Chains A and B, each alone.
Chain A
């Protein structure tokens, strides 16, 4: 890790991003540098599909990202063992919002056990963005909140 950072520092502008930058979809908003704000993130942040309250939710949890103060609450309606609907609200950045929105979409229709197996890699695969380590917690916060909700810790 240290070597990689040092190499980026001495290697000039793009040396450190060459490998990672190829994974994202192109975006007019990211004219240069890493594709942090992929089209998926921009779209999900501007028009989230699963944002809102869910009255009568059977499982709810909320947590804060101590790094930035982001707050996410996830509400899940279970029908028997199946996740029928999921909604989220919160004060969060574009990456965290997009992650919560994608997660809600991924878990709907799955059994509890299946839904809990949805992991960071699944969300990242949809987001199509180059998330650097400092922002990874923005992606994982909704996942940990979802696990808290289904495991009854809120």
Chain B
């Protein structure tokens, strides 16, 4: 049985009819949809167990704490982290990257360098701009080659003894490029720099094993991997996390507080000030359970098959241009394309009239758009519930677009 045949009944939103057509949701790279188990787990939590975590000495508080900390264990196993202390909950990828840039930013000195890449999402650009600007440090970017992959020779040249942090995406949210994470992290370490990996587009699709990637930090969001909005994960190597001063303060992240000083809490709570996203942690547990039941290898293969079908089909339509590495390379489950003279927003609006949801615009990657020489692109992205038939609908609709406007 194909993966989508098994999963589709689990996603209630797929019953929606949009503009007279059954919904074809091809925007999971922005935010995926949720299976019923995730929705029900959160609703059950609110209906039966909600209280604040950690300091509530009553039954509900204990249940909520147990559920919240169980989510941490689940995440630890899902990403192959060495210990639960290495798993910090955030509000999402953007929040995780900001937290790291704020925290690591404090250790930067004038003349230090932070190295990002040309294909980053704004979330992995702006926090580093702010951090370097405040400290008189320098922000540099690894250029993109013509084939949509990073120029690794340039990476080697740009990596100097002044480089303190290397931050890059595991999978590009526009081009689908899968960067050689393990190799880049190893090179960063040899140069004495910390590695930060934006895994927002990888966690939903690829089996993850932190020890194999051997990065110092890895961040991702729940809502792109069938989970709820408002929660994400920051993985950090224990020795490094333990050596960092917290960048943000509040309750929960301290052991003892005086007016003029405080003693920090243990890992991972040191980096989780305030009441966390508890119901969302429960939802994330359910999302991980769902993905693990399907098997991440199968999830990855399903994404690859749909991506190949879309890439080959779109490239065959006159006037359509696809971006990123060739269909034969291993890519993430996104396909960015333009249709002749049509503006990407018009493409998305015309497809919406057919019930097909795609993303259009700069995809929060303006420097990449500039590098590609386009205002924006349209982007179809796939998840476990998408079928080859849906990709077929997309291809048929795109072929008709120029006649429709």
Chain A residues with CB under 8 Å of chain B are 9, 12-14, 29-34, 36-37, 42, 45, 67-71, 91-95, 135, 138
Contacts and interface: CB of A to CB of B under 8 A. Distances in A.
Interface residues of B, number: 24
B402 to A, nearest CB: 11
Chain B contact residues, majority secondary structure: mixed
Q: Which 6 A/B pairs are nearest by Cβ-Cβ distance? A: A33-B19, A93-B343, A93-B345, A13-B17, A91-B375, A32-B20
Contacts of B346: 37, 93-95
B366 interface: yes
B349 A13 contact: no
A13 B361 contact: no
B16 A9 contact: yes
A144 B293 CA distance: 53
A32 B353 CA distance: 7
B296 interface: no
Contacts of A70: 343, 345, 375
B1 interface: no
Nearest to A94: B346
Contact of B361 (A34, A42, A68): A68
B20 A13 contact: yes
B206 interface: no
Given A92-B343, A135-B349, A37 B376 contact: no
Given A13-B20, A29-B405, A68 B345 contact: yes
Contacts of A36: 349, 353
Contact of B369 (A69, A95, A135): A69
Nearest to A97: B343
Contacts of A33: 19-20, 352-353
A14 B404 CA distance: 21
B362 A69 contact: yes
A41 B10 CA distance: 41
Tell which of B346, B352, B361, B375 has the most Cβ of chain A within 10 Å.
Answer: B346
Given A9-B16, A12-B17, A69-B361, A29 B404 contact: yes
8 contacts: A13-B21, A33-B20, A68-B375, A69-B361, A69-B362, A91-B375, A94-B343, A94-B346
A32 B19 contact: yes
Contact of A67 (B17, B18, B361, B369): B361
A138 B20 contact: no
B278 interface: no
B360 interface: yes
Interface string B115-134: 00000000000000000000
Nearest to A12: B17
Nearest to A70: B375
Contacts of A138: 345
Interface in B388-405: 403-405
Contacts of A13: 17-21
B301 to A, nearest CB: 33
B350 interface: yes
Given A33-B353, A94-B343, A68 B376 contact: yes
A51 B353 CA distance: 28
A13 B20 CA distance: 5
Contact of A14 (B20, B353, B375): B20
A45 B405 contact: yes
A95 B345 CA distance: 9
A42 B20 contact: no
A95 B403 CA distance: 17
A100 B359 CA distance: 24
A12 to B, nearest CB: 6
